[in-house]
């Protein structure tokens, strides 16, 4: 893929302005999506349900990836940050639906999140045009 330089993508979250970051940064064929929570940024609301939060995280990430010219199939690395260990397993079906065929490298960490309403935050790195096609003897 042609190198198009470095540029930032805004996601519509007020936190981007308040804190000073971009939803995503595109650098050549690499796309780095910031930790993304389950807020619906248009309404600035967040569900109490961790699975609904995970689904919204992924919708927010998909929007940033789309603007960068790629999809979830181009994700090569994913990081899951959760405020409670027991919240991870209920999210597995949603995560598997998005990444089961792609098989990115992944890490899950339990930590404090910026807002007590947040139960999951997801961060991804992607390579435009990679398409997540498995190779070799997997």
Q: Which one, of 46, 51, 5, 59, lies nearest residue 29 by Cα?
A: 5
Q: pLDDT tier at 119 (50, 70, 90 boundaries)?
A: very high
* Whole-angstrom distance, CA of residue 103 vs CA of residue 29: 19
Is 85 within a domain? yes
Kindly report, residue by residue over 6-64, the tens digit of the pLDDT.
Answer: 999 988 777 778 888 889 999 999 999 999 999 998 888 999 999 999 999 999 999 99
pLDDT of residue 15: 78
pLDDT at 5: 87
Q: Which residue range is the domain that position 35 belongs to?
A: 6-126
Q: How many CB atoms lie within 10 A of CB 21?
A: 16
Supply the CATH number for residue 119's domain. 3.30.1330.40
Say if 133 falls within a structural domain.
no
Confidence of residue 4 (pLDDT cuts 50, 70, 90): low
Local confidence band at 128 (pLDDT 50, 70, 90 cut-offs): very high
Structure tokens at 120: 């999951």
Question: CA angle, 38 as apex, 12 and 86 as ends, to 5°?
Answer: 160
Give the count of domains, the chain.
1
Q: Tell whether 137 is covered by a domain.
A: no
């Amino acid at each position: 893929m042609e190198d198009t330089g470095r540029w930032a993508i805004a996601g519509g979250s007020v936190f981007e302005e308040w804190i000073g970051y971009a939803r995503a940064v595109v650098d050549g064929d690499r796309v780095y999506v910031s930790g993304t929570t389950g807020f619906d940024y248009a309404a600035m609301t967040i569900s109490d349900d961790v699975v609904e939060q995970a689904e919204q995280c992924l919708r927010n990430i998909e929007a940033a990836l789309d603007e960068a010219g790629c999809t979830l199939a181009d994700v090569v690395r994913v990081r899951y940050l959760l405020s409670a260990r027991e919240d991870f397993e209920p999210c597995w079906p949603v995560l598997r639906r998005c990444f089961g065929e792609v098989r990115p490298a992944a890490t899950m960490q339990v930590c404090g999140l910026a807002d007590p309403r947040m139960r999951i935050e997801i961060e991804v790195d992607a390579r435009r045009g990679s398409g997540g096609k498995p190779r070799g003897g997997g």
